[in-house]
Chain A
Amino acid sequence: MNKIFALAGVVIKELYRRKDFYVLFILTALLTFAAGSANFFHDAKIVRYLKDICLLLIWVSALLVAILTAARQIPAEREARTIFPLLAKPVSRAQLIVGKFLGCWLATGLALFVFYLFFAVITGSREQIWPVGVYLEAAWMQWVMLAIVIGMVLLGSIYFAAPSSTTTIAFIVVVGILFVGSHLNTIALQQGEPVQSILAFLYFTIPHLEWYDLRDFVVYDMGMAPVGAVALATLYAAAWTGIFLLLTWLGFRRKNLTT
């Protein structure tokens, strides 16, 4: 377990050494401040559009941090040939994958914490209310969703040639699921065979990332989503993350690292 935490620690250090997070955070802050400075009919109490914009930026930024961090982990170790001394420690390939995953997930969690803190300060100073439970639940669900994404990206990084292709494909898949994941069954009904069966199959087999998007609850002040459902969704995310990590290990354990 110590080896896994040591590997994770390296990934977290990498997050604050690289500039990705800082750039994304500054961009989010600048765009939020710009949107917040807009004056709509001299009404200073209007706040929902600001929450909406800020949360959207947080979602995009966190997704980018997660995907970019996870996509380069294994390819970078291979390219720099640091993977050989790492595996000679001895660290098993399974430990390497779990350590990399844990590092990426914790690093993303750290970034999410900073983003949500900024969000809470900005909206709280305007609304004068602090629904901490709602924010924590939304942040938790987003973080849990990012665990699935990181697992998916690590799997992709084993098979795709370069981190850039892994990043692009993962981004398209995740955004695709978020936008149409819950509607695939409805779309399937309007199609002929075999597209109908393919879409219906996809609907039941993809990880439903759209469940984890609780932005509407935060923006429209709808309180918290049912805690039982959140717990079940967390279990579902754990299962999918496990599936992706297992598949990554299956692909990685016999992979020739010299080519």
Chain B
Amino acid sequence: MKVSPWILLAGLLALAFTLATKLAATADNWSGRSKPENVFEMLLGDGRRLFANESFTMADVYFHSGYYPSMFDQNAKEQREIIAASHGHKETEEEEKKEDFFGQPHDWIDAFGRNFRITRHTHLAAHQEREILPWLRLAADLDPQKIETYTVGAYFMREHLGRPNEAEAFLREGLRHNPGNSEILFELGRIYRENRHDLNRARNVWEYGVKSYLSLSPDLQKENKLVYEELVMNLARLEDEAGNYAAAIKWFEKGKVVSPAPDAIQKQIDDIEKKLAGAKPVAAPK
């Protein structure tokens, strides 16, 4: 029997189409793997996390406009300055000098080569901070469990770029990947407190952050002591501002236990106690 190749082709196409409509719905589950969230997960799998740190470092390189030690330089950075900046740390002149990884030129090749390298220590300013954002976005896609990516990104968007909505969306994305993370909750609370002036929501978020912190194992609590300190101290200041002096004292007392400067906190407690005494209603004369 002779069959026309066109009929054969049409038959095969019809078969392929019919099978596709039947199998497409179940094919995704054959491998037993969840659907990849982004192109990096699809291409690299869990190996993508290896590159997340590099991407985060690139954000720091951009923050310094290219003034950055290479892996061969002796002062290769251990802590990224964008993290320190997001915790409100401002570099002193002495610290900047310490970071002069170039030092004296070793020879004429080194000395001449510096003409073609960036040798000035600067930080991005005046809305140029936006340039670090692509690398943070990439770092978040590569490793959604890297917490600093969300907190640093949100800090720069909120504090330097005046974009609290984008900062909040980024933090909420971080919370979806890391439910109940106290660092992200702390940063989220700062948006409510400092940008939206919504004390109630800030209080709720921070209190949830404290609760999440206290549910951690002792080892993890020790590791994350700084965020706990920031949470309780900010809660104390918030309650003080709201006029809830008793609650403020309660949070300051908790902060005193973990703070490296308990005397300064005690002074603040004393000040609030004075306010509290002054606010007590005077007994009406009989």
Q: A216-B66, A225-B116, A226-B115 are in contact. Are A48 and B131 (CB under 8 A)?
A: yes
Partner of B116, one of A40, A185, A213: A213
Q: A41-B163, A214-B116, A229-B115 are in contact. Are A222 and B65 (CB under 8 A)?
A: yes
How far, in angstroms, from A48 to B65 measured CA to CA in the complex? Answer: 10
Minimum C-beta distance from A211 to chain B (A): 5
Interface residues of B in 100-139 (CB under 8 A from A): 106-107, 109-110, 112-113, 115-118, 120, 130-131, 133-135, 137
Minimum C-beta distance from A127 to chain B (A): 11
How far, in angstroms, from A208 to B115 measured CA to CA in the complex? Answer: 13
Residues of B within 8 Å of A232, CB to CB, are 112
- Which B residue's beta carbon lies closest to that of A42? B166
* Pair B113/A222 contact, Cβ less than 8 Å: no
* Pair A210/B113 contact, Cβ less than 8 Å: yes
Partner of B109, one of A42, A43, A204, A222: A204
Most buried by B among A180, A211, A220: A220
Q: Is B72 an interface residue (CB 8 A)?
A: yes
Partner of A40, one of B62, B73, B109, B134: B134
- Which A residue's beta carbon lies closest to that of B109? A208
Q: A216-B66, A220-B65 are in contact. Are A211 and B116 (CB under 8 A)?
A: yes
Q: Is A212 an interface residue (CB 8 A)?
A: yes
How far, in angstroms, from A48 to B130 measured CA to CA in the complex? Answer: 10
Residues of B within 8 Å of A226, CB to CB, are 115
Residues of B within 8 Å of A29, CB to CB, are none
* Pair A203/B109 contact, Cβ less than 8 Å: yes
Q: Is A49 an interface residue (CB 8 A)?
A: yes
Mark contacts of A191-234 with chain B using CB atoms, 8 A cut-off: 1 yes-contact digit, 0 otherwise. 00000000000011000101111101101111001100100110
Minimum C-beta distance from B78 to chain A (A): 18
* Pair A211/B166 contact, Cβ less than 8 Å: no
* Pair B135/A49 contact, Cβ less than 8 Å: yes
How far, in angstroms, from A210 to B110 measured CA to CA in the complex? Answer: 11
Q: Is A95 an interface residue (CB 8 A)?
A: no
Q: Is B206 an interface residue (CB 8 A)?
A: no
- Which B residue's beta carbon lies closest to that of A41? B166
Q: Is A89 an interface residue (CB 8 A)?
A: no
* Pair A183/B70 contact, Cβ less than 8 Å: yes
On chain A, the number of residues with a Cβ less than 8 Å from chain B's Cβ atoms is 36
Q: Is A123 an interface residue (CB 8 A)?
A: no
- Which B residue's beta carbon lies closest to that of A232? B112
Minimum C-beta distance from B69 to chain A (A): 11
How far, in angstroms, from A41 to B130 measured CA to CA in the complex? Answer: 9
Partner of A211, one of B65, B66, B107, B113: B113
How far, in angstroms, from A42 to B134 measured CA to CA in the complex? Answer: 11
Q: A49-B135, A220-B65 are in contact. Are A225 and B115 (CB under 8 A)?
A: yes
Mark contacts of B44-66 with chain A using CB atoms, 8 A cut-off: 1 yes-contact digit, 0 otherwise. 00000000000000000010011
Q: Is A45 an interface residue (CB 8 A)?
A: yes
* Pair B137/A182 contact, Cβ less than 8 Å: no
Q: Is B252 an interface residue (CB 8 A)?
A: no
* Pair A233/B131 contact, Cβ less than 8 Å: no
8 closest Cβ contacts across the A-B interface?
A229-B115, A183-B72, A220-B65, A216-B66, A49-B134, A48-B131, A41-B166, A220-B66
Can you list 18 A-B contacts (CB < 8 A)? A38-B134, A41-B133, A43-B130, A46-B130, A185-B109, A186-B73, A187-B72, A203-B109, A211-B115, A211-B116, A213-B116, A216-B66, A217-B118, A220-B65, A220-B66, A222-B65, A222-B66, A232-B112
* Interface contacts beyond A185-B110, A219-B66: sample of 9 additional A-B pairs, CB < 8 Å, sorted by A: A183-B70, A204-B107, A210-B116, A214-B116, A216-B66, A222-B66, A222-B118, A222-B120, A233-B112
Chain B residues near A (Cβ < 8 Å):
62, 65-66, 70, 72-74, 106-107, 109-110, 112-113, 115-118, 120, 130-131, 133-135, 137, 157, 161, 163, 166, 170
